[in-house]
Amino acid sequence: MNIVQKRKIWFSISGMILIIGLVLGLIRGVNVGIDFTGGTLMEIELHKYIPAKEIREITDKYDKSANISMLGTDKATVQIRMNEDFNNEERKEIFGEFQTKYDLDEEDLLRADQFGPSVGKEIKSRALLAIVLSVIGMLAYITFRFEFSFAISAIMALSHDILIVLAMYSILQVPINSPFVAAVLTILGYSINDTIVIFDRIRENFKFTKKIDYEKIANESIAQSFTRSINTSLTTLVTLIALYILGVEQIREFALPLIVGVLAGTYSSIFIASPLWVMVKQRQKGKKARVK
Amino acid sequence: MRARNIVIFLVIIVILGLSIFTAFNGLKIGSYKIKPIKESVRQGLDLKGGVYVVYEAQTDKTGGELDQLMEQVIGVFSKRVDSMGLTEPSITREGGKRIRVELPGVKNAQEAINMIGKTAQLQFVTADGEVVITGANVLKAQAGFGQGNAPQVSLQFDKEGAQKFAEATGRLVNMPNREDRIIYIILDEDVISYPEVSTKIPDGQASITGNFTIETASNLAALIRAGALPVELEEIQTSTITATLGENALHRSLQAAKIGIVFIFLFMIIFYRIPGVVASIALTIYILIVMGIMMALKATFTLPGIAALILSAGMAVDANVIIFERMKEEIQLGKTVRASIDSGFKRAFTSIIDSNITTLISGIILYQLGTGPIRGFAVMLIVGIVASMFTAIIVTKFLLKLLVGMNLTKGTKLYGV
C-alpha cells in the first residue's frame, strides 16, 4: 500500500468536498437551527396531508418566514419552524387556529419547542468552548503519551473531520443545531480513537526498525491496522444507519452527523492523519539537517 | 481441566440468560422482586412525554439578594407543581437567574405552563364571588404581633390593590349580614383564610387577626406570599412533547438497537469465529453492565442517551476487533493460540487505553458544559466507554481462555485466521 506517497490524491478529495461545501454555503447560506437563532418549532398531527400553502394561511399571520415541512410516512404531521420565539399564550393561539380549522384534539400538538435568542447565543458559545477544550485536552494527552508530532497531526485530521461534516451540512442543507454539536463532539472522540490506534502502531513499529524511513513505517502501520479500521467503522456505521432509518426526527438529527462523521473519521485516520504525520516528521528532520 | 472449563462456561451462559430474562421480564422469587428494566429506569421527557420550561427572572439583583429571590420563586413553583399531583417533577436553578421546571407525563402541557408561570393565583374574593385583588397586588405578607401581643398576619398591597381594597372594604363593612362581610383568600381552589372586614382599609395596610399562634400566622403569611411570584419571569426555553410521540421514539430506537446489535453479532461471528462468539457474549454483558450502572446512578434515559448507547455498543466491539486482529497476526507468526491470546492482549492494551481515554476527555467536557439532553448523551457515552474497556479487556480475555481450555479445535481456522 502506498497511501502516504499518494497523499496529494487524498488531500484533493477532501479539499474538493470542503470547497463545494464552502461555495454552496456562501451562495445559499447555512441552515441554522432555531436553538441557535432563537425561535419556535411546532409539530402538529393533522391526520391527513395538507399542502404547505394552506398551512401558510395560518402561519403567515404570525411569521411570514416560517419554514413548513410535512413529516411521517403519510405526511400527515406538519412541522413549523418560526424565527420568532412565541410564548405560551401565542403558541396556544397558533395551535388554536389549527384546532378549529382542522378539528383537532389537545393531544395533536405533538411537540412545541421555543428558544429565546439569548439561549441560542449561550448554546453556541458553550458548544464552541466545549470543542476548543476537548481539542486542547486531547492535544495535551497525545503529546504526553506519544509526542507533539502525533498530537498536531491528529488534531489537524480532526479539524478536517469537523469541516467535512460542516461541508456536508451545507451541501445537504440540514439545520445546524445543538444535537449537531453533541454529534460533532462524539465525532471528535471517535475519529481520534481511530487515529490513535494507527499512531500506536507507528509508535510500536518504530521500536523494531533501525533505518528510519517515516513513509515506510507509516504505510506498514496503516496496512496492519486496515482491517481493524474498516471492521470497526462498519459495525458502528450499521448501528447508526439502523438508527437513521428507523429513528424519529430527533434521533435522525443525531444519527446523520454521526454517520457523516464516522465516514470522515475513518477516511481521515487512514488517508489524512498518517500522511500528515510523515510531512511533519520530514519537515522536522529537514530543519535539524539545516541546523547542523 | 477440560470438563471444568466446560462447566464454568455453561454456568456463565445460564447466568447470562437469566439476567437477560430478568432485564426483559422482571423476576419474582418468593417475596423478592426485580422489576424489568423498562419499568425501573427513569425515562426522560422526550421518551415519556411532558414539558420543560426554563424561566429567567427579570431582575438586577445579585448575590445574596438574588439567591433569596430565586429561592422564593422555586418555593412558589414547588407549591404550584405539587398541586398538579405529578410523579417526579423537578425544579432546578440553572446558573444565576434561571429556573428549569420539568414536568414528565403532563397531559396538557400548555395548561401546565400557564399554571406554573402565572404571576398570581392568589385571589381575595367577596362572598358574591367578586375578585377584589389578586396575588399580584400583594407586596408583603408577614407574621407579627398586633394589639395585646396577639399573633397576626399583616399585609401590604400595591397602589392599585390598595385602591381596590379600600373600595371593597368600605362597601363590605356596612353589610348587615356577617357572611357578607367576609373576604375569602383563595389560593388555587382552596380557601386559606376568610377574615371578616371590621373596618375600611384605606391605605393598603391590612392585618388579619384571629386565633393565631405565631406558627399558624407564619404559615398563612407564607401561603399568601407563595400565591404571588416575587418577580417577573420570562419563558426563555420551552419544550413540550406528547406521550405518544415519546413512546413512538422509544419503540423505534429500541428496534434500531436490536437490528444493530444482531448485525454486530452476525458480523463478528462470521468474521472471527470463536473469538466472535466471545465478543458477542461480551457485548451482551456490556449492555447489561451499562443498564445496571445507569440504574444505579438513577440516570435518566433520553433519546440522545439511547443514541449514545447504540454508538458505544458499536465502539465497544472496536476493542475486541483490535485484540482479535492482533491475535490473528500472532497466530500467523506461528505462535500457539494460547500464546497468541496473551501477546495479542498485551499488544492491543496501549492502543485500547489511549484511544478510549482521548474519547473520554471529550465525553467529560461535554458533560461539564452541556445541559439537558446533551448531558444525557454525555453520561451514557462516559459510562459506555468505561464499561467497554472493562468487558473488552477482562471479560473477553477470561472467556477466550476458557474456550481455548475446552480444546474444541486443534486448528487455528476457528480463530478467524
**Domain residues of chain B, as ranges?**
2-43+243-415, 50-118+232-240, 122-226
Residue B373: predicted pLDDT: 67
Over residues B268-292, the pLDDT tens digits come to 999 888 889 999 999 999 989 998 8
Chain-centre distance for alpha carbon A23: 18
Residues A104 and A85 in one domain: yes
Q: How far apart are CA A176 and CA A183, in angstroms?
A: 11
Q: Are residues A177 and A272 in the same domain?
A: yes
Same-domain status, A50 and A104: yes
DSSP state of B88: S
More confident: B316 or A7: A7
Contact B244 A107 (CB under 8 A): yes
Query: For residues A33, A35, A38 and A39, what is the CA-based torsion angle, rounded to 10 degrees?
Result: 70
* Predicted local distance difference test score (pLDDT) of residue B258: 86
In this complex, the residue of B238, B248, B351 whose CB is nearest that of residue A197 is B351
A153 pLDDT more than 90: yes
> Are residues A106 and A135 both part of a single domain?
no
What DSSP state is assigned to residue A111? E
What is the CATH classification number for the domain harbouring A248? 1.20.1640.10
Task: Report percent pLDDT > 90 for chain A.
Answer: 25
How large is the average pLDDT for residues B116-122? 71
CATH number at residue A52: 3.30.70
For domain B50-118+232-240, say whether CATH 1.20.5.440 is its number. no
pLDDT tens digits along B147-182:
888 888 888 888 888 998 898 888 888 888 888 888
- Determine the distance in angstroms separating the CA of B305 from the nearest CA of chain A, rounded to an integer: 10
Is residue B13 predicted with pLDDT exceeding 90? no
Same domain, A198 and A69: no
Chain A residues in contact with B311 (beta carbon < 8 A): 186, 190, 236, 239-240, 258
Q: Is pLDDT of A277 > 90?
A: yes
For residue A268, being part of any structural domain is answered with: yes
**What is the C-alpha R_g of chain A?**
24
What CA–CA distance (Å, rounded) separates B165 from A183? 58
Mark whether A100 and A127 lie in a shared domain.
Answer: no
If asked whether residues A12 and A103 sit together in one domain, one would say no
Structure confidence at residue B365 (pLDDT): 87
Q: Which of the listed residues A70, A99, A115 is the one where a domain comes to its end?
A: A115
Q: Are residues A254 and A222 in the same domain?
A: yes
- Among A16, A35, A56, residue whose Cα is nearest residue A175: A35
User: A207 and A73 share a domain?
Assistant: no
Q: Could you tell me if residue A227 is inside a domain?
A: yes
- Give the burial class of B330: count Cβ atoms within 10 A of its Cβ; 0-12 exposed, 13-18 middle, 19 or more buried: buried
Q: What is the mean pLDDT of residues B305-320?
A: 80
pLDDT of residue B119: 64
The boundaries of the domain holding residue A159 are 7-32+119-291
Give pLDDT, residue B387: 92
Residue A279 — very low, low, confident or very high, per pLDDT cuts 50/70/90? very high
Which one of A109, A201, A239 has the shortest CB-CB distance to B313?
A239
Lowest mean pLDDT among A3-7, B131-135, B328-332: B131-135
Decide which of A59, A85, A115 is a domain's last residue: A115
Number of domains in chain A: 2
Q: How confident is the model at residue A228 (pLDDT cuts 50, 70, 90)?
A: confident
Grid coordinates representing B252? Answer: 423505534
A235–B362: do the CB atoms touch at under 8 Å?
no
Helix/strand/coil (H, E, C) string of B112-170?
HHHHHHCCECEEEEECCCCEEEEHHHEEEEEEEECHHHCEEEEEEECHHHHHHHHHHHH
Interface touch A200/B350, C-beta < 8 Å: yes
pLDDT at position A291 is 60
| Residue A152 pLDDT exceeds 90 | yes
Q: Which three cell numbers stand for residue B167?
A: 373600595
Yes or no, beta carbons of B325 and A228 under 8 Å apart: yes
User: Which chain B residues are Cβ-neighbours of A106 within 8 angstroms?
Assistant: 107-108
Q: Which CATH class is domain B122-226?
A: alpha beta
Q: Is the pLDDT of residue A292 over 60?
A: no
Among A141, A181, A201, the residue with its CB nearest the CB of B358 is A141
- When scoring A74, A243, A269 by the number of chain B Cβ atoms within 10 A, the one with the most, hence best to mutate, is A243
Q: Please indicate, yes or no, if residue A1 is contained in any of the structural domains.
A: no
Chain A environment of B244 (Cβ under 8 Å): 107, 110
Q: Which residue from A179, A193, A243 is facing B355, i.e. has the nearest CB? A: A193
Higher-confidence position of A51 and B300: A51
8 Å CB contact between A141 and B360: no
- Does residue A26 sit in the same domain as residue A53? no
Report pLDDT for B245: 80
A168 plus A283 within the same structural domain: yes
Q: What is the pLDDT of residues B231-253, one digit of tens each?
A: 778 888 888 888 888 888 888 88
Residue A290 has pLDDT above 70, yes or no: no
% of chain A surpassing 70 pLDDT: 98
Closest CA to B64 of B41, B96, B102: B96
> What was the pLDDT predicted at B410?
65
In this structure, of A118-122, A153-157, B89-93, B163-167, the range with the lowest mean pLDDT score is: A118-122
In one letter, which amino acid is B194? Y
pLDDT value of position B409: 67
Does the pLDDT at position B310 exceed 90?
A: no
ipTM: 0.81
Average pLDDT over residues B89-111: 83
Residue A161's pLDDT band (cuts 50, 70, 90)? very high
Q: How many CB pairs under 8 A join A and B?
A: 231
Say whether both A195 and A95 belong to one domain.
Answer: no
What is the predicted pLDDT for the residue at A14?
Answer: 92
Of A288 and B76, the structure prediction assigns the larger pLDDT to B76
Q: Which of A72, A95, A115 is the last residue of a domain?
A: A115
Is a pLDDT exceeding 60 seen at residue B83?
Answer: yes
The per-residue pLDDT for B108 is 76
Return the CATH fold of B2-43+243-415: Multidrug efflux transporter AcrB transmembrane fold (1.20.1640)
